[in-house]
Amino acid sequence: MLITFSKVINVLAPASLRQTRSIASLSALSDTYQMLYKTCRDFAEGELKPNAAKYDREHLYPGDAIKKMGELGDTVGCFALSEPGNGSDAGAASTTAKDGGDKWILNGTKCWITNGYESKGTVVFATTDKSLKHKGISAFIVPKPIKGLELGKKEDKLGIRGSSTCSLIFEDCEVPKENILGQPGLGFKIAMMTLDAGRIGIASQALGIAQILGGMGYVSDMPAERHYRDARITEIYEGTSEIQRLVIAGQLIKEYGLN
Ligand SMILES: Cc1cc2nc3c(=O)[nH]c(=O)nc-3n(C[C@H](O)[C@H](O)[C@H](O)COP(=O)(O)OP(=O)(O)OC[C@H]3O[C@@H](n4cnc5c(N)ncnc54)[C@H](O)[C@@H]3O)c2cc1C
């Protein structure tokens, strides 16, 4: 999951710019999106696919490839929402951001953060007013490295081993006042809208991994074994399958007035 700042900025953009939800087929995309699709696909085929097994085997972050991807127009960031004990219940965030006059002071721990090691900055969700529960959560842009932010150990994962996953530990980490994203209290909405878009990406990741193989799918000389390990994460991050069912059921009940 390569969450970039542009992904978060995208959810702040007008709905007309967010065509993801209405895309039914490739041909329905505008020329610009088709070009973007082709660029991404060519990059994945030419730069990532040939080395994917090596990244997995050696637990390597594909730094050179990410650098080239960056030259296509983006910076790798990370998205720090989950916390120990409240991954599914994101509204229960216990990381705090205290108003310190001309700055915000962050305290708390975020866990399972993809690209925690390599990212140049992170969007962090922290509560600015606990009494408002999820409506008291705000989003902050935190550059990295920064005083008051420590990284936890790099997790040794079953799959998606070419990306780092770690905790972000904030201890009196000061960020400038203007680093709040949108308005105070808008953080939960920003997080959910980002996930709405991100979950389409995870679904396509899962679909792309799907294969039909016999014994050849069971040996590590073939990529299927890696795909099998990588597939498991698509049932966990950006909302577990159980949470997705709750979200879908909630939407259907709302739409059709079922009770
Ligand atoms: C490799 C990896 C990368 C990740 N990357 C990021 C990242 O970049 N940024 C980020 O913020 N987070 C990230 N995550 C965190 C991920 O989003 C959470 O792990 C996930 O949301 C589940 O939260 P949890 O681990 O706290 O499990 P819990 O919320 O404790 O859930 C445990 C189990 O209970 C089930 N469950 C929980 N609540 C309900 C319910 N109401 N009804 C039915 N079942 C329920 C869940 O489905 C799950 O099976 C990543 C996780 C992994 C493993």
Domain closes at, from 20, 54, 73:
73
- Residue 40, domain member (yes or no): yes
165 within ligand 1 shell (Cβ under 6 A): yes
Check whether residue 44 and residue 131 sit in a common domain: no
> Ligand 1 center to residue 239 CA distance, Å?
6
Domain closes at, from 164, 184, 204:
184
Burial (CB < 10 A; 0-12, 13-18, 19+), residue 135, is middle
Q: What is the domain extent for residue 47? A: 28-73
**In the predicted model, is pLDDT for residue 86 greater than 90?**
no
Q: Closest by alpha carbon to 190, among 4, 45, 9?
A: 9
Position in ligand 1 atom list of the atom nearest CA 83: 26
Determine what percent of the chain is predicted with pLDDT higher than 90. 59
225 is catalytic: no
- Residue 174, domain member (yes or no): yes
CB-CB contact of 99 with 185 (8 Å): no
- Residue 133, domain member (yes or no): yes
pLDDT given at position 25 = 64
pLDDT given at position 74 = 66
Check whether residue 82 and residue 39 sit in a common domain: no
Catalytic residue among 83, 150, 171, 238: 238
Bin 252: left if φ > 0, else alpha if -120 < ψ < 50, else beta.
Answer: alpha
- Residue 48, domain member (yes or no): yes
* Residues composing the chain: 259
Q: In whole angstroms, what is the distance from residue 248 CA to residue 134 CA? A: 20
- Residue 238, domain member (yes or no): no
CB-CB contact of 86 with 109 (8 Å): no
Q: Chain-wide mean pLDDT for the chain?
A: 86
159-184 pLDDT, tens digit each: 999 999 999 999 999 999 999 999 99
3-state secondary structure of 48: helix
**In the predicted model, is pLDDT for residue 108 greater than 90?**
yes
Check whether residue 109 and residue 34 sit in a common domain: no
Q: What is the CATH number of the domain that holds 60?
A: 1.10.540.10
- Span 248-256, mean pLDDT? 92
- Residue 210, domain member (yes or no): no
pTM over 0.85: no
151-161 pLDDT, tens digit each: 999 999 999 99
**In the predicted model, is pLDDT for residue 193 greater than 50?**
yes
- Span 38-49, mean pLDDT? 88
Check whether residue 87 and residue 38 sit in a common domain: no
pLDDT band at 6 (very low <50, low <70, confident <90, very high): very low
Q: In whole angstroms, what is the distance from residue 158 CA to residue 154 CA? A: 13
pLDDT given at position 24 = 52
**Which segment of 95-99, 113-117, 214-218, 228-232 scores lowest on mean pLDDT?**
214-218
82 within ligand 1 shell (Cβ under 6 A): yes
DSSP secondary-structure letter at 239?
Answer: S
CB-side exposure of 70: number of CA atoms within 13 Å? Answer: 13
Domain closes at, from 132, 158, 184:
184
Check whether residue 86 and residue 180 sit in a common domain: yes
**In the predicted model, is pLDDT for residue 22 greater than 90?**
no
Check whether residue 44 and residue 143 sit in a common domain: no
Q: What are the Cα distances from residue 236, in Å, to 2, 43, 112, 120, 239?
A: 15, 26, 11, 25, 6
> Ligand 1 center to residue 19 CA distance, Å?
27
- Residue 66, domain member (yes or no): yes
pLDDT band at 218 (very low <50, low <70, confident <90, very high): confident
**In the predicted model, is pLDDT for residue 19 greater than 50?**
no
pLDDT given at position 259 = 65
Q: What is the CATH number of the domain that holds 108?
A: 2.40.110.10
Q: In whole angstroms, what is the distance from residue 213 CA to residue 42 CA? A: 25
Check whether residue 88 and residue 180 sit in a common domain: yes
How many separate domains does the chain show?
2
CB-CB contact of 140 with 174 (8 Å): no
> Ligand 1 center to residue 131 CA distance, Å?
24
Check whether residue 69 and residue 81 sit in a common domain: no
Closest Cα to atom 35 of ligand 1:
242
